[in-house]
């Protein structure tokens, strides 16, 4: 019995971790959320940025909006 015994029963869905758009550091501080937008600040360089939660069908065509 291991911690991955459930693997065979569980399907896999895509997950894309958020990274800083300026320095690519992972795991930014998240300080707010408005619907599908989350507000982040980079722990390394301090850049503020937003992430947008996508629907499955938006993954292939995502184009980040200009400010
Ligand atoms: Zn950064």
36 Cα: distance to centroid of ligand 1 (angstroms): 21
| pTM score of the predicted model | 0.76
The alpha carbon of 35 and the centre of ligand 1 are apart by a number of angstroms equal to: 24
Q: How far is the CA of 25 from the centre of ligand 1 (A)?
A: 5
CA gap 51, 35 in Å, rounded: 11
- Rounded CA separation 23/25 (Å): 6
CA of 41 to the centre of ligand 1 (A): 8
22-50 pLDDT, tens digit each: 999 999 999 999 999 999 999 999 999 99
- When the pLDDT of each residue in the chain is averaged and rounded to a whole number, the result is 89
Question: What is each CA distance from 45 to 7, 14, 57, in whole angstroms?
Answer: 37, 27, 32
């Amino acid at each position: 019995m291991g911690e991955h015994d459930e693997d065979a029963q569980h399907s896999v869905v895509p997950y894309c971790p958020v990274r800083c758009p300026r320095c690519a550091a992972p795991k930014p501080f998240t300080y707010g959320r408005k619907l599908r937008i989350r507000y982040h600040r980079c722990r390394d360089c301090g850049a503020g940025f937003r992430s947008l939660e996508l629907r499955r069908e938006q993954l292939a065509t995502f184009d980040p909006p200009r400010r």
